Amino acid sequence: MKFNIQSSSLAAVLLVGSNLAAAAKMPGAEEMWKIIQQQQREIEALKAGQKANTEKVEATAEAVEDTATATQGAHPASGSAWIENTQVGGYGEMHYNNLDSKDEIDFHRFVLFFGHQFSDRLRFFSELEVEHAESGDGQNGEVELEQAYIEYDITQTQRARAGLFLVPVGILNPTHEPATFYGVERNPVESNIIPTTWWVGGGGLSGEIMPGWSYDFSIHEGLDTSASNNYAVRKGRQKTSEANANDLASTLRIKWTGMPGVELAASAQYQQDVTQSSDANAGNAWLYEAHADIERSSFGLRTLYAMWDLDGSGPRSVGADKQEGFYIEPSYKITPEWGVFARYNRWDNQAGDSNFNSEKKQLNAGVNYWPHPDVVLKADVQQQDNEGSNKNDNGFNLGVGYQF
Amino acid sequence: MLKRLVVLLLLASVYTGAPARGTYQEPDTFLAETFLNNTPEPAVIWLTGKRKDTVKQLLGHRYASLRIRYWRRAQRSAWILEETGKDQPITVGLVVNAGRLEKIKVLVFRESRGEEVRHPFFTDQFKDARLDDRGNLDRTIDGISGATLSVRAMKKLARLALYLDAEVRKQDVSSSP
């Protein structure tokens, strides 16, 4: 214990001694002030360096963004190279039909879009399609040019176009990418009465009349149907392939989209002669069409009515002077990915004479699944109930589609 | 009848009304209107790290810029953002107030279709929208037939502005004493 006390005393003495020595070495107030000033200058230098670095990073970011804009075309309208102003897109759909009439898998449509912006006011748009996966002599499919037109902005609300374009009638004819509609196959009313997909060569005007209201007017090639196919309008599409331009047609559509999720539209078309003056017993024709396309919250409703009125004793003799149809399609989106629908279709290409028993009725119900907004898987059941000798066509359909 | 129709259409074709394509409002004017002619100095949020990934997820692609400028005073932040509808970028002004969308306005529209998204009957649907727990808008935005891609672009930008505003406010919390 004695030894410990002596040791502690000795340590304390040494500590005090070292502190006194350190105190003797500490700078005075003047020297401290110099040190603080020196440190302040260093802090300011560091701040300036940081600011300069920040400016350099900003400048680098701007340079990188400018390079990206120039090379990737982030603002195509301002670019000059043609590739910056050229757009590519497309859609496609494959179907499996298990019906009384067929049991088959078909890559029904493979479509590529090409567009080009010549200037802020002048552009080109095209759609090239391969149907049924192959084409050529004796093959099932064909390669078709479905759109290829030049559009020019006359004013900020009015446009003119010329070339090959889709007839502005109905819901599916202008917009038929598979992810945008229910059902594996396009509805039979628009296919057989309008008849979708219907493209023509000609020119026209379109634009806004007032907020929510728009119009589309065009003068274009007419139909060329005949007595041999009972004056069916679908058989009369000329597809702008060396089309007979003896008798032209004109189409007017008025559309209202003044409320989100609601489209109401009506179209009228006048044909000078649906046989291109080749049939003395046929003549002019009118097409009238009206539809509503509503999608509010989770509920959807599409309904359409279309009617042809063909002049002449020829169409009258086979009841084709009146060809009409309608459908109604309620739908419900369970989630953004899943939707269900039911559709009742009724159409008749010889509705002018009930003796032909030519009316067809079809009920579809099914589901769409969108794993991505641009990709869709579809399934539906079909029940077709036909008059007369027409066979019913029941079964189910599966499909996959995409757009980009 | 056809002659009358043509005359009617020619009359319609000279209607200019509100422009369908072009600049509806300059971004500076939008900001001045938002902040009552006292626009604050712009700040910058960098799209780096996890934020960059989230923005890519919201848009479906990376944003065309490495950082985004914004203007902020108290609980309100204003954003000038761009997103392509079909082919061309649409410039949109957005104001977020305390985590809710106060205003969304198309400033420059360059697309050849879908210009209906500029009308108040469409943009009014976004008023007071906020993000839910999954990063989606807390309400259904009804589309416009024929303007699907422009509608989609507007929804993406609404989500982006709300997300970026939340990120900015998060920075405030982390830097507070």
Task: Report chain B residues whose CB lies below 8 A from the CB of A210.
Answer: 15, 17
Closest chain B C-alpha to A247 CA, distance in angstroms: 15
For residues A8 and A49, membership in a common domain is answered with yes
Contacts of A7 (CB under 8 A, 6+ apart): none
pLDDT tens by residue, A212-261? 899 999 999 999 999 999 999 999 999 999 999 999 999 999 999 999 99
pLDDT tens by residue, A247-281? 999 999 999 999 999 999 999 999 999 999 999 99
Task: Report chain A residues whose CB lies below 8 A from the CB of B43.
Answer: none
Is the Cα torsion angle A368, A370, A374, A377 positive or negative in sign? negative
Closest chain A C-alpha to B51 CA, distance in angstroms: 17
Nearest CA in chain A to B10: A205
- Identify whether A75 is part of a domain: no
Closest chain B C-alpha to A65 CA, distance in angstroms: 6
Nearest CA in chain B to A76: B88
Decide if B15 and A207 are in contact by the 8 Å CB cutoff. yes
Using CB atoms and an 8 Å cut-off, which of residues 5-24 of chain B contact chain A? 5, 9, 12-22
For residues A17 and A102, membership in a common domain is answered with no
Beginning with the edge strand found earlier in the chain, give each strand of the sheet holding B42-46 in spatial order. Answer: B22-23, B100-109, B89-97, B76-84, B67-73, B42-46
For residues A273 and A329, membership in a common domain is answered with yes
What ipTM was reported for this prediction?
0.76
- How far is CA B168 from each of CA A236, B73, B157, rounded to the nearest angstrom? 62, 12, 16
Round the average pLDDT of chain B to a whole number and report it.
87
- Identify whether A362 is part of a domain: yes
The b/e string for B44-83 (b: 16+ C-beta within 10 A; e otherwise) is: ebebeeeeeebbeebbeeebbbbbbebbbeeebbbbbbbb
Contacts of B161 (CB under 8 A, 6+ apart): B77, B79, B81, B94, B96, B101, B104
Closest chain A C-alpha to B64 CA, distance in angstroms: 7
Q: What is the pLDDT of residue A28?
A: 84
Task: Report chain B residues whose CB lies below 8 A from the CB of A263.
Answer: 144-146
For residues A144 and A31, membership in a common domain is answered with no
Given a cut of 60, whether residue A75 has pLDDT beyond it is: no
Decide if A295 and B142 are in contact by the 8 Å CB cutoff. yes
Please state the domain count of chain A: 2
Decide if B87 and A64 are in contact by the 8 Å CB cutoff. no
> Domain boundary residue among A34, A69, A104?
A69
Alpha-carbon distance A319 to A311, whole Å?
Answer: 11
Given a cut of 90, whether residue A192 has pLDDT beyond it is: yes
Task: Report chain A residues whose CB lies below 8 A from the CB of B144.
Answer: 257, 260-261, 263
For residues A16 and A138, membership in a common domain is answered with no
Closest chain A C-alpha to B20 CA, distance in angstroms: 5
Q: Which of A69-73, A115-119, B92-96 has the lowest mean pLDDT?
A: A69-73
Q: What is the pLDDT of residue A138?
A: 86
The rounded Cα B145 to chain-centroid distance in angstroms is 19
pLDDT tier, B16 (very low <50, low <70, confident <90, very high otherwise) = very low
> Mean pLDDT, to the nearest integer, of A67-86?
60
> Does the CB of B57 have a partner CB in chain A at under 8 Å?
no
- How far is CA A12 from each of CA A7, A15, A18, A20, rounded to the nearest angstrom? 9, 5, 10, 12
> Mean pLDDT, to the nearest integer, of A2-21?
57
For residues A58 and A113, membership in a common domain is answered with no
Total Cβ atoms within 10 A of residue A270: 18
Q: Which three-class secondary structure state does DSSP give residue B17?
A: coil
Given a cut of 50, whether residue B150 has pLDDT beyond it is: yes
DSSP tag of B137: B
- Identify whether A345 is part of a domain: yes
- Identify whether A77 is part of a domain: no
pLDDT tens by residue, A313-368? 999 999 999 999 999 999 999 999 999 999 999 999 999 998 888 999 999 999 99
For residues A175 and A274, membership in a common domain is answered with yes
Nearest CA in chain A to B66: A61
- Identify whether A296 is part of a domain: yes
Percent of chain A with pLDDT over 70: 89
Decide if A257 and B112 are in contact by the 8 Å CB cutoff. no
Decide if A87 and B18 are in contact by the 8 Å CB cutoff. no
Task: Report chain B residues whose CB lies below 8 A from the CB of A337.
Answer: none
Closest chain A C-alpha to B141 CA, distance in angstroms: 7
Contacts of A310 (CB under 8 A, 6+ apart): A231, A274, A282, A283, A285, A316, A320, A321, A322, A323
Task: Report chain B residues whose CB lies below 8 A from the CB of A174.
Answer: 146
> Domain boundary residue among A18, A35, A69?
A69
Round the average pLDDT of chain A to a whole number and report it.
90
Task: Report chain A residues whose CB lies below 8 A from the CB of B21.
Answer: 153, 156
Model-level pTM? 0.80
Cβ-contact A334, A340 below 8 angstroms: yes
Total Cβ atoms within 10 A of residue A14: 10
Given a cut of 60, whether residue A370 has pLDDT beyond it is: yes
Contacts of A228 (CB under 8 A, 6+ apart): none
Closest chain A C-alpha to B151 CA, distance in angstroms: 10
Burial of A248 (0-12, 13-18, 19+ CB in 10 A): middle
Alpha-carbon distance A92 to A112, whole Å?
Answer: 9
Across the A:B interface, residue pairs with CB atoms under 8 Å apart total: 111
Total Cβ atoms within 10 A of residue A175: 14
Decide if B64 and A298 are in contact by the 8 Å CB cutoff. no
Given a cut of 60, whether residue A5 has pLDDT beyond it is: no
Alpha-carbon distance A49 to A37, whole Å?
Answer: 18
Task: Report chain B residues whose CB lies below 8 A from the CB of A258.
Answer: 119, 121
Among A403, B166, A45, CA closest to A53: A45
Contacts of A403 (CB under 8 A, 6+ apart): A89, A90, A91, A177, A178, A179, A180, A374
Q: Look up residue A324 and give its amino acid.
A: E
Q: What is the pLDDT of residue B10?
A: 54
Given a cut of 80, whether residue B13 has pLDDT beyond it is: no
Task: Report chain B residues whose CB lies below 8 A from the CB of A371.
Answer: none
For residues A377 and A344, membership in a common domain is answered with yes
For residues A144 and A26, membership in a common domain is answered with no
CATH number assigned to the domain comprising residue A195: 2.40.160.10
- Identify whether A398 is part of a domain: yes
Which residue range forms the structural domain that includes residue A135?
Answer: 93-403
For residues A132 and A12, membership in a common domain is answered with no
pLDDT tens by residue, A81-94? 677 789 999 999 99
Q: Which pair of tokens denotes residue B99?
A: 């985590």
Of A64, A77, A260, the CB nearest to B144: A260
Task: Report chain A residues whose CB lies below 8 A from the CB of B122.
Answer: 260
Q: Which residue has the tokens 């007839």?
A: A167
Q: Which residue has the tokens 């010889």?
A: A350
- Identify whether A278 is part of a domain: yes
- Identify whether A286 is part of a domain: yes
For residues A112 and A193, membership in a common domain is answered with yes
Q: Which three-class secondary structure state does DSSP give residue A213?
A: strand
Best of B61, B87, B118 to disrupt the A interface (most A CBs within 10 Å) is: B87
Tell whether omega for the bond before A197 is within 30 degrees of 0, i.e. cis: yes
pLDDT tens by residue, B19-60? 567 889 999 999 999 999 999 999 999 998 899 999 999 998
Task: Report chain A residues whose CB lies below 8 A from the CB of B13.
Answer: 154-155, 158, 205, 207
> Mean pLDDT, to the nearest integer, of A99-104?
95
Q: What is the pLDDT of residue A1?
A: 45
Closest chain A C-alpha to B97 CA, distance in angstroms: 24
